Structure 1
Protein backbone atom coordinates (compact mmCIF):
# COMPACT_ATOMS: atom_id res chain seq x y z
CA UNK A 1 0.00 0.00 0.00
CA UNK A 2 1.32 3.45 -0.96
CA UNK A 3 2.02 5.73 1.97
CA UNK A 4 0.42 9.17 1.76
CA UNK A 5 2.94 11.83 0.83
CA UNK A 6 1.46 14.64 2.91
CA UNK A 7 -0.72 15.21 5.95
CA UNK A 8 -3.27 16.69 3.55
CA UNK A 9 -3.48 13.43 1.58
CA UNK A 10 -3.37 11.26 4.70
CA UNK A 11 -6.38 12.93 6.35
CA UNK A 12 -8.56 12.81 3.25
CA UNK A 13 -7.79 16.09 1.49
CA UNK A 14 -10.05 19.10 1.16
CA UNK A 15 -13.20 17.39 2.47
CA UNK A 16 -11.53 16.85 5.83
CA UNK A 17 -10.05 20.37 5.89
CA UNK A 18 -13.53 21.71 5.15
CA UNK A 19 -15.08 19.73 8.02
CA UNK A 20 -12.27 20.79 10.39
CA UNK A 21 -12.61 24.49 9.58
CA UNK A 22 -16.41 24.34 9.85
CA UNK A 23 -16.17 22.68 13.29
CA UNK A 24 -13.48 25.16 14.36
CA UNK A 25 -15.33 28.35 13.41
CA UNK A 26 -18.55 27.10 14.97
CA UNK A 27 -16.60 27.23 18.24
CA UNK A 28 -14.71 30.47 17.54
CA UNK A 29 -17.96 32.28 16.78
CA UNK A 30 -19.23 31.41 20.26
CA UNK A 31 -16.03 31.80 22.30
CA UNK A 32 -16.16 34.90 24.54
CA UNK A 33 -12.39 35.42 24.39
CA UNK A 34 -12.27 35.19 20.57
CA UNK A 35 -15.43 37.02 19.51
CA UNK A 36 -13.79 40.47 19.99
CA UNK A 37 -11.05 39.82 17.40
CA UNK A 38 -13.11 38.00 14.76
CA UNK A 39 -15.71 39.45 12.38
CA UNK A 40 -19.34 38.70 13.10
CA UNK A 41 -19.65 36.95 9.73
CA UNK A 42 -16.94 34.27 9.66
CA UNK A 43 -17.61 33.16 6.06
CA UNK A 44 -14.60 34.86 4.47
CA UNK A 45 -12.33 34.11 7.43
CA UNK A 46 -13.21 30.41 7.19
CA UNK A 47 -12.69 30.42 3.40
CA UNK A 48 -9.17 31.82 3.84
CA UNK A 49 -8.47 29.32 6.64
CA UNK A 50 -9.51 26.42 4.36
CA UNK A 51 -7.11 27.64 1.67
CA UNK A 52 -4.29 28.17 4.17
CA UNK A 53 -4.64 24.81 5.95
CA UNK A 54 -4.83 23.02 2.60
CA UNK A 55 -1.44 24.50 1.68
CA UNK A 56 0.01 24.28 5.23
CA UNK A 57 -0.55 20.52 5.31
CA UNK A 58 0.85 19.83 1.86
CA UNK A 59 -2.09 20.25 -0.48
CA UNK A 60 -2.57 22.61 -3.41
CA UNK A 61 -1.23 26.14 -2.99
CA UNK A 62 -4.64 27.77 -3.37
CA UNK A 63 -3.90 30.25 -0.58
CA UNK A 64 -0.90 31.73 -2.44
CA UNK A 65 -2.88 31.84 -5.68
CA UNK A 66 -5.74 33.67 -3.94
CA UNK A 67 -3.95 35.84 -1.34
CA UNK A 68 -0.23 35.88 -2.12
CA UNK A 69 2.50 34.94 0.36
CA UNK A 70 0.95 34.02 3.74
CA UNK A 71 2.94 36.51 5.90
CA UNK A 72 0.79 35.16 8.73
CA UNK A 73 2.30 37.16 11.57
CA UNK A 74 2.03 40.41 9.63
CA UNK A 75 -1.57 39.69 8.63
CA UNK A 76 -2.46 39.09 12.29
CA UNK A 77 -0.73 42.17 13.76
CA UNK A 78 -3.88 44.35 13.70
CA UNK A 79 -5.49 41.93 16.17
CA UNK A 80 -4.53 41.74 19.84
CA UNK A 81 -3.46 38.12 20.17
CA UNK A 82 -2.72 37.47 23.82
CA UNK A 83 -1.59 34.21 25.44
CA UNK A 84 -5.16 33.84 26.71
CA UNK A 85 -6.58 34.22 23.18
CA UNK A 86 -3.93 31.88 21.77
CA UNK A 87 -5.02 29.26 24.28
CA UNK A 88 -8.70 29.81 23.45
CA UNK A 89 -7.92 29.44 19.71
CA UNK A 90 -6.02 26.20 20.39
CA UNK A 91 -8.84 24.91 22.60
CA UNK A 92 -11.32 25.47 19.74
CA UNK A 93 -8.97 23.73 17.29
CA UNK A 94 -8.39 20.81 19.68
CA UNK A 95 -12.14 20.27 19.97
CA UNK A 96 -12.60 20.62 16.19
CA UNK A 97 -9.91 17.98 15.61
CA UNK A 98 -11.79 15.64 17.96
CA UNK A 99 -15.09 16.31 16.20
CA UNK A 100 -13.52 15.73 12.78
CA UNK A 101 -12.07 12.41 14.01
CA UNK A 102 -8.66 12.90 12.40
CA UNK A 103 -6.64 9.82 13.28
CA UNK A 104 -3.19 9.52 14.77
CA UNK A 105 -0.41 10.23 14.07
CA UNK A 106 -1.89 13.02 11.92
CA UNK A 107 -4.06 14.57 14.64
CA UNK A 108 -1.03 15.15 16.87
CA UNK A 109 1.10 16.37 13.97
CA UNK A 110 -1.58 18.88 12.96
CA UNK A 111 -2.09 20.14 16.50
CA UNK A 112 1.67 20.50 17.07
CA UNK A 113 2.13 22.51 13.85
CA UNK A 114 -0.83 24.74 14.71
CA UNK A 115 0.43 25.20 18.28
CA UNK A 116 3.78 26.48 16.99
CA UNK A 117 1.94 28.81 14.61
CA UNK A 118 -0.35 30.07 17.37
CA UNK A 119 2.66 30.87 19.58
CA UNK A 120 4.21 32.80 16.67
CA UNK A 121 1.01 34.87 16.22
CA UNK A 122 1.00 36.24 19.78
CA UNK A 123 1.65 39.97 19.76
CA UNK A 124 0.12 41.32 22.97
CA UNK A 125 0.66 40.34 26.63
CA UNK A 126 -2.33 39.32 28.76
CA UNK A 127 -3.82 42.35 30.51
Structure 2
Protein backbone atom coordinates (compact mmCIF):
# COMPACT_ATOMS: atom_id res chain seq x y z
CA UNK A 1 0.00 0.00 0.00
CA UNK A 2 1.35 3.42 -0.90
CA UNK A 3 1.46 6.23 1.61
CA UNK A 4 -1.45 8.65 1.16
CA UNK A 5 -0.85 12.26 0.27
CA UNK A 6 -2.97 15.35 0.79
CA UNK A 7 -3.83 15.22 -2.91
CA UNK A 8 -5.39 11.77 -2.60
CA UNK A 9 -8.98 11.65 -1.51
CA UNK A 10 -7.94 12.44 2.03
CA UNK A 11 -11.30 13.91 2.88
CA UNK A 12 -12.94 10.57 2.13
CA UNK A 13 -10.25 8.73 4.10
CA UNK A 14 -10.88 11.00 7.10
CA UNK A 15 -14.60 10.30 6.96
CA UNK A 16 -15.96 13.31 5.10
CA UNK A 17 -17.45 16.57 6.28
CA UNK A 18 -19.20 15.01 9.27
CA UNK A 19 -15.90 13.65 10.58
CA UNK A 20 -14.26 17.04 10.14
CA UNK A 21 -17.08 18.66 12.12
CA UNK A 22 -16.61 16.17 14.94
CA UNK A 23 -12.82 16.65 14.91
CA UNK A 24 -13.18 20.42 15.15
CA UNK A 25 -15.75 20.19 17.95
CA UNK A 26 -13.53 17.76 19.87
CA UNK A 27 -10.52 20.02 19.37
CA UNK A 28 -12.40 23.04 20.70
CA UNK A 29 -13.54 21.14 23.81
CA UNK A 30 -9.87 20.77 24.63
CA UNK A 31 -9.16 24.43 23.90
CA UNK A 32 -11.97 25.55 26.20
CA UNK A 33 -10.56 23.46 29.06
CA UNK A 34 -6.98 24.74 28.75
CA UNK A 35 -6.10 27.81 30.82
CA UNK A 36 -3.13 28.67 28.57
CA UNK A 37 -4.94 28.20 25.28
CA UNK A 38 -8.42 29.59 25.95
CA UNK A 39 -7.30 33.25 26.35
CA UNK A 40 -5.69 33.14 22.90
CA UNK A 41 -9.09 32.54 21.31
CA UNK A 42 -11.91 35.07 20.96
CA UNK A 43 -14.79 34.92 23.42
CA UNK A 44 -17.13 33.55 20.74
CA UNK A 45 -15.60 30.34 19.42
CA UNK A 46 -18.27 29.60 16.82
CA UNK A 47 -16.85 31.70 13.95
CA UNK A 48 -13.43 30.11 14.46
CA UNK A 49 -14.94 26.64 14.46
CA UNK A 50 -16.67 27.34 11.17
CA UNK A 51 -13.49 28.73 9.60
CA UNK A 52 -11.45 25.75 10.76
CA UNK A 53 -14.02 23.32 9.36
CA UNK A 54 -14.06 25.08 5.99
CA UNK A 55 -10.27 25.27 5.90
CA UNK A 56 -9.81 21.59 6.73
CA UNK A 57 -12.43 20.53 4.22
CA UNK A 58 -10.71 22.50 1.47
CA UNK A 59 -7.20 21.47 2.53
CA UNK A 60 -8.19 17.80 2.42
CA UNK A 61 -9.52 18.04 -1.11
CA UNK A 62 -13.09 19.18 -0.57
CA UNK A 63 -14.79 22.19 -2.12
CA UNK A 64 -12.90 25.52 -2.00
CA UNK A 65 -15.52 27.15 0.24
CA UNK A 66 -12.90 28.65 2.57
CA UNK A 67 -11.09 30.48 -0.25
CA UNK A 68 -14.33 31.51 -1.90
CA UNK A 69 -15.51 33.10 1.32
CA UNK A 70 -12.28 34.42 2.85
CA UNK A 71 -9.74 34.49 0.05
CA UNK A 72 -6.28 32.93 0.32
CA UNK A 73 -5.81 31.37 3.79
CA UNK A 74 -2.67 33.43 4.63
CA UNK A 75 -2.74 31.73 8.00
CA UNK A 76 0.23 33.47 9.59
CA UNK A 77 -1.13 36.95 8.83
CA UNK A 78 -4.61 35.98 10.03
CA UNK A 79 -3.10 34.81 13.33
CA UNK A 80 -1.05 37.97 14.05
CA UNK A 81 -3.71 39.42 16.39
CA UNK A 82 -3.23 36.42 18.69
CA UNK A 83 -0.01 36.07 20.68
CA UNK A 84 1.06 32.50 19.99
CA UNK A 85 4.04 31.03 21.80
CA UNK A 86 5.82 27.68 21.45
CA UNK A 87 3.73 26.16 24.23
CA UNK A 88 0.54 27.12 22.41
CA UNK A 89 1.80 25.65 19.14
CA UNK A 90 2.64 22.39 20.89
CA UNK A 91 -0.69 22.19 22.64
CA UNK A 92 -2.54 23.02 19.41
CA UNK A 93 -0.81 20.05 17.79
CA UNK A 94 -1.51 17.75 20.73
CA UNK A 95 -5.18 18.66 20.96
CA UNK A 96 -5.65 18.43 17.22
CA UNK A 97 -3.96 15.01 17.10
CA UNK A 98 -6.08 13.77 20.00
CA UNK A 99 -9.23 14.92 18.18
CA UNK A 100 -8.23 13.11 14.97
CA UNK A 101 -7.38 9.96 16.91
CA UNK A 102 -10.63 10.17 18.89
CA UNK A 103 -12.48 10.26 15.55
CA UNK A 104 -10.70 7.02 14.62
CA UNK A 105 -8.87 8.37 11.58
CA UNK A 106 -6.39 5.78 10.29
CA UNK A 107 -2.85 6.15 11.61
CA UNK A 108 -1.32 6.47 8.13
CA UNK A 109 -3.67 9.37 7.33
CA UNK A 110 -2.99 11.05 10.68
CA UNK A 111 0.74 10.65 9.99
CA UNK A 112 0.53 12.42 6.63
CA UNK A 113 -1.65 15.21 7.98
CA UNK A 114 0.55 15.86 10.99
CA UNK A 115 3.74 15.89 8.91
CA UNK A 116 2.24 19.09 7.50
CA UNK A 117 0.55 20.37 10.65
CA UNK A 118 3.78 20.39 12.67
CA UNK A 119 5.63 22.97 10.57
CA UNK A 120 2.40 24.92 10.08
CA UNK A 121 1.71 25.19 13.82
CA UNK A 122 5.25 26.36 14.54
CA UNK A 123 5.03 28.87 11.68
CA UNK A 124 2.16 30.54 13.60
CA UNK A 125 4.40 31.30 16.61
CA UNK A 126 4.63 35.08 16.87
CA UNK A 127 5.20 35.82 20.57
CA UNK A 128 7.94 38.41 21.08
CA UNK A 129 7.80 39.35 17.40
CA UNK A 130 7.02 42.76 16.01
CA UNK A 131 3.94 41.88 13.98
CA UNK A 132 0.72 43.86 13.47
CA UNK A 133 -1.80 42.90 16.13
CA UNK A 134 -4.86 44.49 14.54
CA UNK A 135 -7.49 41.99 13.42
CA UNK A 136 -7.50 41.24 9.71
CA UNK A 137 -11.29 41.16 9.64
CA UNK A 138 -13.66 39.20 7.48
CA UNK A 139 -12.66 40.82 4.21
CA UNK A 140 -10.86 38.89 1.53
CA UNK A 141 -7.10 39.18 1.50
CA UNK A 142 -5.85 39.29 -2.06
TM-score, scaled relative to structure 1: 0.89
Q: CA deviation at 1:68?
A: 1.0
Match of 1:10 in 2: 13
**CA distance in 1 between partners of 2:117 and 2:9 (Å):** 16
Q: From the two aligned structures, give the one with the greater helix fraction.
A: 1
1:26 pairs, out of 23, 29, 54, with 29
Asked if 1:48 corresponds to 2:44, the answer is no
Question: Matched residue of 1:64: which SS?
Answer: helix
Match of 2:127 in 1: 124
Question: Matched residue of 1:39: which SS?
Answer: coil
RMSD: 1.6
Deviates more, 1:39-48 or 1:3-12: 3-12
Match of 1:75 in 2: 78
Q: CA deviation at 1:5?
A: 3.0
TM-score, scaled relative to structure 2: 0.80
Asked if 1:84 corresponds to 2:87, the answer is yes
- Alignment gaps of 5+ in structure 1: none
- Alignment gaps of 5+ in structure 2: 129-142
